Structure 1
Amino acid sequence: MKNRVITISREFGSGGRTIGRETARKLNIPCYDQELIQHLAAESGFTEEYVKEQGEYAPYSGWLNALTGRTNGLTNQDHLWVLQRRIILDLAEKGPCVILGRCADYILRDSADCLTAFIHADMARRARRIVEVYGQREEAPEKRLRDKDKRRASYYQFYTDTAWGDARNYHIALDSGVLGIQRCVDILAQLF
């Protein structure tokens, strides 16, 4: 029997991490985000900071691979992808859970009873949130948002050949800026 899993993809600053954690708490099931990074770091030998940062970059292609860490035909990012896929499959096999990001929606598409969600909000609300919640500087938070989302989209496209953020690729897309964090939690918990 397949375990019920909620995967949450999210725009940076949309509150997706908070929504995932609160949904898991409400459902009394594990939530994997930082814990997934810790697993990847332990198994890969890379630092958590490296895993967190490089896990959102698509590998370079062509001759640059020779200069950017390609070993045995795989880039460091490719190596992390293989480990990440196995870890996500193992976590979903253990029992119901919430998994944040890391292409979990794609990885689990055929092996878990998955509810896939995409959390988004308008630029102004996300910019305000990263300044207030994450302590980002007030100068140009929009640039930080665009850069982070661009990396996530590129990584997702590279490894899944699917468009990140396209509502057709998720069961539900929630605007946390309009609905609010708690309402998003309630909706996901109800759909679980």
Structure 2
Amino acid sequence: MMQHTIITIGRQFGSGGHEIGNRLAERLDIPLYDHNLIHMAAQELRISNEDATKVDETVLGRFLSAYAAGSLEYRLFVTSDESGKPLTDRVFERQSAIIRKLAESGPGIFVGRCADYILGDYSNCINTFIYAYRDDRVRRIMKLYRLDEKQALDRIKKTDRERKVYYETRTGREWGGIDANSMMFNASLLGIDGVVDALEAIYRKWDSRNI
């Protein structure tokens, strides 16, 4: 039975969720798992990182566009191996197995990848969702990616839509909904440091129960 504490972070694009995960991992001195999960899955499936990345969190949004265009990317999504499963399902299943294995081995922070759902049987999970006001998200994305306001807003809408479809299709839950999250944080009100401070305190309090 898992005794250590796990944090999962869902996030709106541009809310600072990934930065919060990074800072929190440094403070707590525990691993952060995000994009590296897809690379681990690629290695175990013996496929390229590029192909695995194409079926990461934005898979279904891209899938629908590729389907309409009849593109090579669509064929990649539906191509199955000897098991009869398409690459999308194989990567998700392998990534899920890796998440469970890592969670069983020690504490950590998992960003995205439906980790809250995958680890739903574990009682020592703090499932969080980070959101922020639209104007703050737009300013953040403009600065990070050197985009103008319209480009930043379009990217936010597209990425949020893709994450929502991916999450809800895989889990049957509402993306960002209260039923799937122990707590939700408005990074516009608390600030990045404020959210990190709150999560650090919650983690240490929660973790002390297992000592």
Same fold (TM over 0.5): yes
How far apart are the structure 2 equivalents of 1:13 and 1:53?
21
**Structure 1 residue 112: Cα displacement:** 5.2
2:60 to 52, 58, 71: 58
How far apart are the structure 2 equivalents of 1:136 and 1:53?
23
The residue type equivalent to 1:70 in the other structure is: T
The residue type equivalent to 1:39 in the other structure is: M
Could you say which residue in structure 1 is the equivalent of 2:45? 44
Could you say which residue in structure 2 is the equivalent of 1:125? 136
> Is 1:98–2:109 an aligned residue pair?
yes
In the TM superposition, 1:1-192 aligns within 5 A as 1-2=1-2, 3-56=4-57, 57-58=59-60, 67=75, 68-71=77-80, 72-111=83-122, 113-192=124-203
Q: Decide which moves more: 25-34 or 132-141.
A: 132-141
Deviations 1:122-149 (A, max 9, x none): 1111111011123334443111111101
Is the Cα contact below 8 Å between 1:130 and 1:141 reproduced in 2?
A: yes
Q: Decide which moves more: 179-188 or 67-76.
A: 67-76
Structure 2 residue matching 1:77: 3-state secondary structure: helix
Identity of aligned residues (%): 35
Deviations 1:7-43 (A, max 9, x none): 0000111100010111111111111112212212212
TM-score normalised by L of structure 2: 0.82
Is the Cα contact below 8 Å between 1:70 and 1:76 reproduced in 2?
A: yes
Structure 1 residue matching 2:127: 3-state secondary structure: strand
TM-score normalised by L of structure 1: 0.90
Deviations 1:67-96 (A, max 9, x none): 542314322111111001101001101100
How far apart are the structure 1 equivalents of 2:138 and 2:51?
25
Q: Unpaired runs of 5+ in structure 1?
A: none
The structure with more helix, counted as a fraction of residues: 2
Is the Cα contact below 8 Å between 1:7 and 1:98 reproduced in 2?
A: yes
User: Greater CA radius of gyration, 1 or 2?
Assistant: 2
The residue type equivalent to 1:18 in the other structure is: E
Give the superposed CA RMSD: 2.2
Give the length in aligned residue pairs.
190
Say if 1:35 and 1:70 are closer, same or farther in 2 by CA, change over 3 A: same
The residue type equivalent to 2:144 in the other structure is: V
